[in-house]
């Protein structure tokens, strides 16, 4: 019996007039040359859905992306700054960062609406010191993971002890003169013994200090730059107003090259920092490293080393201990004093921003040493005496930052005046000098503030 092939289509037989058993070829499929899976996807209209999804995602990201982030588009914005002759800052030599910045860096800490900021991994060398520990507080507060590298030469564990046990915080006791390998996104390089007692006065110590300063500023900075290069991290160096030496220009603008004595007692600090800046710029130009340079002016606040020889800590500690305030020279030399939280804000803005710098970070309010002594007397002890001593070599006569550049490019300026910040520091010094129990007694002992 002939086999019966039954046509199951609802319409007429595909081959007109063909009887049962006649050969009926399958209808040819559209896109038969495509693989079976692709044919199925096309038949189900999946590419249309995929394309619509991609278009939607692209639209969302282009709306939500930060306007100031350092993407290639931002590079255009930066070059318009450098070529804009109407821009009063065009004369400055601020170098815009020329390498594309990874999307994780948000300018000024701003995060696009609706997107949660991803915490960064940040290394703070010198993070157990005065400035470093306040910076660490802020970084942890905004959700970053922080590693502190510090040899505790002038820093103290007490400055960061409140973070012990925080899973986002880690402290490594290490000298930056020795290489170290860590994985981070940003490096704030603060490690450096910064107080005058560590590089002046004692001639024997000076030799040791020379070694420390140069080693830390040169070898330490080289190590950290090398690390930044290796792991592709952004690098910020805390330089100093001391790079201007005893300035012949007042106030000091970043374009001023300074007046530094290369062979004086302060030179190991001043020249060390100048070299550190040079190395930083060489890595930027030669190795395309993302760098930032901050030139910090006198900063004060809680956690300063009590007997570090800096003028504010000296006066405050002396007034609290009922000792005379020692003024070097005639006391007419000027300085400007910024509160530490203002500095930390400036450092973070600089790190997150688009410009290499250098940037002056300081409070332009200018005080003579005698005016500062008066503020300390008013805050702590109106009866505190003043004692004059011979001035030290190369002590700058004037110091006052021009912060136009930081104002314009970082949107930063200090907010806390000396008379507001000083009492905050005094409270901390009282606690540390007299101990917690004795603070109340000391406070009621005829002193105001």
Ligand X SMILES: NC(=O)c1ccc[n+]([C@@H]2O[C@H](COP(=O)([O-])OP(=O)(O)OC[C@H]3O[C@@H](n4cnc5c(N)ncnc54)[C@H](O)[C@@H]3O)[C@@H](O)[C@H]2O)c1
Residues at the interface with ligand X (CB under 6 A): 125-126, 128-132, 150-155, 175-177, 190-195, 216, 220, 238, 240, 296, 298-299, 305
Nearer to ligand X, 293 or 384 (CB): 293
**Burial status of residue 344 (CB atoms within 10 A of its CB: 0-12, 13-18, 19 or more):** buried
Our answer to whether residue 269 is catalytic in this structure is yes
Catalytic residue, candidates 269, 283, 300, 339? 269
- Minimum CB distance to ligand X, residue 46 (Å): 58
Place of tokens 């001023």: 256
- Minimum CB distance to ligand X, residue 287 (Å): 22
Nearer to ligand X, 216 or 447 (CB): 216
Name which of 188, 194, 72 is nearest 134 in CA terms: 188
**Burial status of residue 136 (CB atoms within 10 A of its CB: 0-12, 13-18, 19 or more):** buried
- Minimum CB distance to ligand X, residue 53 (Å): 50
Nearer to ligand X, 66 or 155 (CB): 155
Please answer whether residues 131 and 190 qualify as being in contact, where contact means their C-beta atoms are separated by less than 8 angstroms. Answer: yes
- Minimum CB distance to ligand X, residue 135 (Å): 9
Residue 293, beta-bridge partner list: 237
Nearer to ligand X, 195 or 280 (CB): 195
Nearer to ligand X, 197 or 253 (CB): 197
Q: How far is residue 118 from each of residues 35, 90, 110, 231, 238, measured CA to CA in Å?
A: 42, 34, 12, 19, 25
**Burial status of residue 10 (CB atoms within 10 A of its CB: 0-12, 13-18, 19 or more):** exposed
Please answer whether residues 97 and 354 qualify as being in contact, where contact means their C-beta atoms are separated by less than 8 angstroms. Answer: yes
Q: Looking at the annotation, which residues are catalytic?
A: 269
């Amino acid at each position: 019996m002939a086999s019966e092939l039954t046509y199951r289509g609802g319409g007429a037989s595909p081959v007109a007039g063909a009887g049962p058993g006649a050969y009926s070829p399958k209808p040819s499929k559209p896109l038969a040359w495509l693989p079976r899976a692709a044919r199925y996807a096309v038949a189900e209209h999946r590419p249309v859905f995929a394309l619509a999804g991609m278009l939607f995602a692209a639209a969302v990201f282009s709306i939500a992306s930060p306007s100031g982030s350092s993407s290639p588009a931002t590079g255009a914005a930066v070059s318009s700054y450098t070529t804009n002759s109407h821009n009063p800052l065009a004369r400055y030599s601020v170098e815009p960062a020329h390498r594309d910045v990874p999307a994780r860096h948000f300018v000024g800490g701003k995060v696009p609406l609706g997107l949660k900021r991803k915490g960064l991994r940040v290394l703070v060398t010198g993070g157990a010191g005065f400035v470093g520990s306040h910076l660490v507080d802020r970084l942890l507060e905004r959700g970053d993971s922080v590693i502190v590298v510090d040899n505790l030469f002038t820093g103290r564990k007490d400055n960061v002890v409140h973070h012990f046990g925080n899973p986002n915080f880690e402290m490594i006791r290490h000298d930056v003169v020795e290489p170290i390998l860590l994985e981070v996104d940003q490096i704030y390089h603060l490690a450096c013994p910064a107080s005058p007692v560590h590089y002046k006065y004692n001639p024997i110590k000076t030799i040791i200090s020379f070694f420390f300063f140069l080693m830390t500023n040169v070898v330490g900075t080289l190590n950290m730059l090398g690390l930044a290069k290796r792991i592709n991290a952004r690098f910020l160096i805390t330089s100093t107003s001391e790079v201007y030496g005893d300035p012949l220009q007042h106030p000091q603008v970043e374009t001023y090259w300074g007046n530094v004595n290369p062979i004086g007692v302060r030179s190991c600090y001043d020249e060390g920092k100048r070299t550190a800046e040079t190395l930083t710029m060489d890595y930027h130009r030669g190795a395309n490293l993302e760098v930032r340079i901050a030139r910090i002016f006198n900063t004060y606040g809680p956690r300063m080393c009590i007997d570090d020889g800096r003028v504010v800590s000296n006066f405050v500690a002396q007034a609290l201990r009922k000792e005379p305030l020692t003024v070097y020279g005639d006391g007419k030399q000027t300085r400007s004093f910024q509160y530490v939280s203002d500095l930390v804000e400036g450092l973070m803005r600089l790190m997150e921003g688009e410009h290499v710098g250098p940037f002056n970070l300081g409070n332009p309010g200018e005080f003579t040493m005698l005016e500062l002594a008066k503020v300390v007397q008013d805050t702590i002890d109106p009866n505190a005496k003043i004692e004059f001593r011979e001035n030290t070599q190369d002590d700058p006569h004037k110091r006052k930052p021009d912060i136009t550049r930081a104002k314009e490019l970082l949107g930063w300026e200090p907010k806390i005046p000396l008379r507001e910040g000083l009492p905050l520091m005094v409270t901390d010094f009282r606690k540390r000098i007299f101990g917690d129990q004795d603070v109340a007694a000391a406070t009621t002992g005829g002193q105001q503030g």
